[in-house]
Chains A and B, each alone.
Chain A
Amino acid sequence: MPAVSKGDGMRGLAVFISDIRNCKSKEAEIKRINKELANIRSKFKGDKALDGYSKKKYVCKLLFIFLLGHDIDFGHMEAVNLLSSNKYTEKQIGYLFISVLVNSNSELIRLINNAIKNDLSSRNPTFMCLALHCIANVGSREMAEAFAGEIPRILVAGDTMDSVKQSAALCLLRLYKASPDLVLMGEWTSRVVHLLNDQHMGVVTAAISLITCLSSKNPDEFKTCVSLAVSRLSRIVSSASTDLQDYTYYFVPAPWLSCKLLRLLQCYPPPEDGAVKGRLVECLETILNKAQEPPKSKKVQHSNAKNAILFEAISLIIHYDSEPNLLVRACNQLGQFLQHRETNLRYLALESMCTLASSEFSHEAVKTHIETVINALKTERDVSVRQRAADLLYAMCDRSNAKQIVAEMLSYLETADYSIREEMVLKVAILAEKYAVDYSWYVDTILNLIRIAGDYVSEEVWYRVIQIVINRDDVQGYAAKTVFEALQAPACHENMVKVGGYILGEFGNLIAGDPRSSPLVQFNLLHSKFHLCSVPTRALLLSAYIKFINLFPETKATIQEVLRSDSQIRNSDVELQQRAVEYLKLSSIASTDVLATVLEEMPPFPERESSILAKLKKKKGPGAVSVELEDGKERGELNDLHGGMGQNTSNSSTPSPSADLLGLRSAAPVSGATPSAGSLLVDVFSEAGPAATSAGVNDDGFLSSAPPTAASEDPAPPLPESDELLNKFVCKNNGVLFENQLLQIGIKSEYRQNLGRMYLFYGNKTSVQFVSFNTTVIGMVFFLNVQTKTVEPLVEGGAQVQQVINIECLTDFIDAPLLNIKFRYGGALQNISLKLPVTINKFFQPTEMAAADFFQRWKQLSQPQQEAQKIFKASHGMDTEVLKAKLLGLGTALLENVDPNPENYVCAGVIQTKAQQVGCLLRLEPNAQAQMYRLTLRSSKDTVSQRVCDLLAEQF
């Protein structure tokens, strides 16, 4: 302590400290300290009273020894004695010792509290401040209990000095943070708010910290502070740099206070009072304007202070998120900072932009900086800044720039720091999925990702790509081809092998046509990676192999050989061994049918929130702007159910895959006579289960009120040609539906919006009468409301009976309802099932629209699942007029002069169902040379696109 005046300086202390500093070794230091401690002990022994000065000196020494890391277990009493001294320095040292050394459960605490109480009521501002500082420094619960009531009183008392007010505010803040339950709100709270109007800037600064903290817990009690804060802020902002004198910091008026005010305002929504709001907006504009002004000083402190205010202002603007003008200005300002040479500024700019990007007003403005941000990602030296740049890219990504951003992130990933790789990988995976325009791009991106940063690709990412490939049949072939190519790299990551194994196991057949990727080649490729993989991957590969046996029977021998080898069948890993044994047995015992059933293609996964997103959210709070997943129209379970019903009733020897989805998979092949035995759900819906007797069917008055007949057979399965018959009526409404030697069925139908009426004419071609003639319409109660009128049970020879069927389309559907006809002809029961030619396109309403209109809508329907495309060979001639007629018969409006290529046909229509209207756009591109068509359908519902596409493809 060189610069202390003689009267106050503690020579002994200075000597002691310099001794310690001169010690050559730790041991010497300890010796010196021991000696000093013994000396102090002998002095404190109490033989003779010490004067204040020596007490102070020895307490100081003890403090110093304590701070060197030694235990001090005496001297507390002397320090407490110092508290009651009237000399400032002695009191100060006493408080210092106590705030550093006294622990809360000390027995001295009562004495200390007493001394503090005395000082608080002493009216000597310096003593009061010392006491307040001590309370704040200790900040224990006991202190809070003793003084939480006292301090607010001091804070708001009219006669308290400014400096004491400052200390009291900060002390209260400390106590509130330490034990909020002890600081009770009361009458003083409203008066604290008015401290914002205090003359003394220091008091305002201290008070605002307190208010910010208190108001974040009880915003309502402090609501009035908003207008006060705004007026205070506007006074500061509009003041000249010299007005505030002591509170001007490098030409910036009261920067700390400004920041705190802005931060306080961020606790509240935008002010409702117009005047206040106007004033605040004015302030914010002024701050933004000032940022543009040339700096008044070259000193870094000046710009730091200015920018601190600016960034707080921008945070406030973002918080309000209601002033597009300010948001865009803020964004532009931040854009300038992006290339500033201060690293901190760049960091802050990127961070703020991240939040700006999530605001609808400024999203576009942020996007203009994409090049700069990408550049920052590539060239920035500081890793934390690069991280922020990556965050920002993620936040600013949307459909328009997704490809570019994903490509940039991918290329950056190769050189990225290890610390942020995993996060980057997740982000790329999410962006790729979220903004995938076509799924082949998505598959490419993810496979690339695995290739570049395989180690960082978490399970979730590759699960996700498989889920998507399974759920989208349009991308399966491409995925199979791509993984096959990717696997050909000499070294590929285990995750790649996993994806490859899974996809080839499921869809390897899609590329098996190519001799370069024949089944055996595929298998050998996969198996070449087998030995380099971990156990879980090997297990997955084994499953892929057994799937291969199902897909390509020709590989059976090879694969069985592999499974039989000791390294599999006697593998020390139980899981692998079990798989090998079971798969080997399965492949050798089960028939192809069974195998096909067991190794069915995986059913689509139910759509749910991407697990990757969940992982990213978990990994990181800020920066991860919450993302809505594409509400990909799932293949609803209802539809699958629907499909299952169709197949169950229509046929036949294998249980349908969709029925499997319901969990009704039965291992043994089901005989034709008992389709899906025990499938309860199907029974309920279709009434066609084997258990349902015809009596039961007939009893259903809704379907047919005919009295039960002797014939109690089940409805026959639909005729094999019924699908063809159905196709005939896709584009026409009238004609002969069915004809054989006995019976001819003619049909005439008309449709308006979602309603249709169908006249069926049953003609007896023989001369003998049909007895117990009975017709039933089966199925589709969920999709179609079908009402039939019963027909006469007797049809005379050569006569014709008419039946009217009223149809209401409830929602879109795929399979047509069944018409079952039963009658006795010469004693023999005739049982015919047909598909009623009701297809979804019957409910089309043609829509005329101009070219521009068409293309705009076409673009709106750009999600991959909304589109269905088919390329097929022409089965009839390619006559223009016939095509036109067919397209018109479809029910859509044929739009002329829309497609730039006159060869192409473009149609538009709306499918009317009771539940909803589905807009549907169609484009047919004939290729005369190749005799091929390309049919593209887009509608707002994926099932509709798919169904109409399938129906139409059969027509040309």
Chain B
Amino acid sequence: MIGGLFIYNHKGEVLISRVYRDDIGRNAVDAFRVNVIHARQQVRSPVTNIARTSFFHVKRSNIWLAAVTKQNVNAAMVFEFLYKMCDVMTAYFGKISEENIKNNFVLIYELLDEILDFGYPQNSETGALKTFITQTGIKSQSKEEQSQITSQVTGQIGWRREGIKYRRNELFLDVLESVNLLMSPQGQVLSAHVSGRVVMKSYLSGMPECKFGMNDKIVIDKQGKGGGATGQSIAIDDCTFHQCVRLSKFDAERSISFIPPDGECELMRYRTTKDIILPFRVIPLVREVGRTKLEVKVVIKSNFKPSLLAQKIEVRIPTPLNTSGVQVICMKGKAKYKASENAIVWKIKRMAGMKESQISAEIELLPTNDKKKWARPPISMNFEVPFAPSGLKVRYLKVFEPKLNYSDHDVIKWVRYIGRSGIYETRC
């Protein structure tokens, strides 16, 4: 189990140090700083073993979170906890930064006391935590409220309290996907996958029972004959669910039913690798003219319905390390050579489907005495499209609340699809 948890700033100064077990000494703090933070990026692995002590770390901007243990723990569990902890902190005070951590010093310790007990992770549901760990002064709670909190936290449905009432029952569903791609210069897909999340924001009264349906291939095939569904189905490689989802039911009937926590939660996470819709195609053309000049031409093609608009498009073309000057011409958007990043960055605000755009650049090089050839890093791309590249569709989300008198029809439901680029690279 986790023996201790430390938070460092980018210099390796300790911001938060919470030790849960005696086998973790104070020197563990220094050991991590010296061996990992000060190693100047020599250490790439998120798990480091120093003197029989394991350090699991994640980095959020300039902040290092490290969980320490001397025991043989489940590393995936520790990382899941660390991510959860980041989520909790973000939910409480926004961006995780040195400033914010310093300002919420007491709060973090309070949270740590609650979500980790003797090194064992506890309820880390933000909604539940917010009921009894508040940022607004001391609000003395009545006996009833206190006992209610106790019964909720220790009860079966720890993530939702009873007696929630809304005038308008509303429900928001976001399907957020990030598409990852590595493509050869000839346009051959070397690897591609989509990782997606279904995020739900619910404002429902009482203890509603919900049921979520999507175009999962297994479900569609099962109903195939009777249902006669027209759309395509998708093959999900693996998925994980929020703790509120009844896994037994999913295993048996592959139906996703749950009582949602109040407010925002991540209902499920999934990954697909087949039949991915690649929103953009990048066609690079690099020509070396002598030792001191390089000509680059890049064409991008959008590959989705013309009615849809892609946003925040950014193409990043790496330049050699001995670049001494760059001239760029582009038809659309803005392009600029960023010396600090050793790349030409081409930004396009909006682009409709089935369109094409092009940039050409002339790069001047400084001759060096180094014979090393330029490694030609891949051209990478960022964008945002209003559909799910995996092809996932929400078929239904039904809400039942037997005790209160509102039905599925009374709930206002919103569904949104956002496809973003993950690591979307094309070799040149």
Contacts and interface: CB of A to CB of B under 8 A. Distances in A.
B342 A25 contact: no
B324 A44 contact: yes
Contacts, number: 51
Interface stretch (A30-38, A244-252, A748-756, A855-863): A30-38
Given A73-B368, A74-B369, A76-B369, A42 B325 contact: yes
B315 to A, nearest CB: 19
A69 B40 contact: yes
B366 A45 contact: yes
Interface in B328-372: 339-342, 364, 366, 368-370, 372
B369 A31 contact: no
* Centre residue among B322, B324, B339 by max chain A CB count within 10 A: B324
Contact of A42 (B10, B324, B340, B368): B324
A34 B343 CA distance: 10
Contacts of A34: 339-342
Given A26-B40, A42-B325, A45-B324, A31 B340 contact: yes
Interface in B41-96: 41, 62
Interface string A784-805: 0000000000000000000000
Contact of B62 (A24, A39, A45, A76): A24
A74 B368 contact: yes
Interface residues on B, range: 10 to 19
Given A32-B340, A76-B369, A107-B369, A38 B323 contact: yes
Contacts of A585: none
A45 B324 CA distance: 7
Interface string A84-122: 000000000000000000000011100000000000000
B399 to A, nearest CB: 46
A41 B324 contact: yes
Contact of A26 (B10, B340, B368): B10
A34 B338 CA distance: 9
* Centre residue among A34, A69, A107 by max chain B CB count within 10 A: A34
Contacts of B325: 42, 45
B322 A39 contact: no
Nearest to B371: A73
Interface string B196-239: 00000000000000000000000000000000000000000000
A31 B40 CA distance: 15
A73 B341 contact: no
Contacts of B323: 38, 41
Contact of B339 (A25, A39, A73): A39
A34 B321 CA distance: 9
Given A25-B10, A38-B323, A42-B324, A74 B341 contact: no
A942 to B, nearest CB: 57
A34 B340 CA distance: 5
Contacts of A107: 369
A205 to B, nearest CB: 40
A107 B339 CA distance: 29
B10 A73 contact: no
A42 B325 CA distance: 6
B340 A73 contact: no
A31 B342 CA distance: 9
B41 A26 contact: yes
A367 to B, nearest CB: 45
A566 B369 CA distance: 75
Interface in A36-53: 37-39, 41-42, 44-45
Contacts of A106: 369
Nearest to B339: A38
Nearest to A74: B368
A32 B340 CA distance: 6
A656 to B, nearest CB: 61
A35 B340 contact: yes
Contacts of B321: 37, 73
A103 to B, nearest CB: 10
Given A34-B339, A73-B369, A45 B322 contact: no
Contacts of B369: 73-74, 76, 106-108
Interface in B309-333: 321-325
A24 B10 contact: yes
A108 B364 CA distance: 24
Contacts of B370: 73
Contacts of B341: 31, 34
B367 to A, nearest CB: 8
Contact of A25 (B62, B322, B340, B366): B62
B101 to A, nearest CB: 14
A76 B370 CA distance: 11
Contacts of B340: 31-32, 34-35, 38
Contacts of A26: 10, 40-41
A42 B327 CA distance: 13
A76 B369 CA distance: 9
A24 B10 CA distance: 7
Contacts of A38: 323-324, 339-340, 342
Query: Which 4 A-B pairs have CB atoms at the shortest separation, nearest pair first?
Result: A38-B339, A31-B340, A73-B370, A35-B340
Interface of B: 10, 40-41, 62, 321-325, 339-342, 364, 366, 368-370, 372
14 contacts: A25-B62, A31-B340, A34-B339, A38-B340, A38-B342, A41-B323, A41-B366, A44-B324, A45-B325, A73-B369, A73-B370, A73-B372, A74-B366, A74-B368
Given A24-B10, A41-B323, A69-B40, 11 more contacts: A26-B41, A32-B340, A34-B339, A38-B323, A41-B322, A41-B366, A42-B325, A44-B366, A73-B368, A74-B369, A108-B369
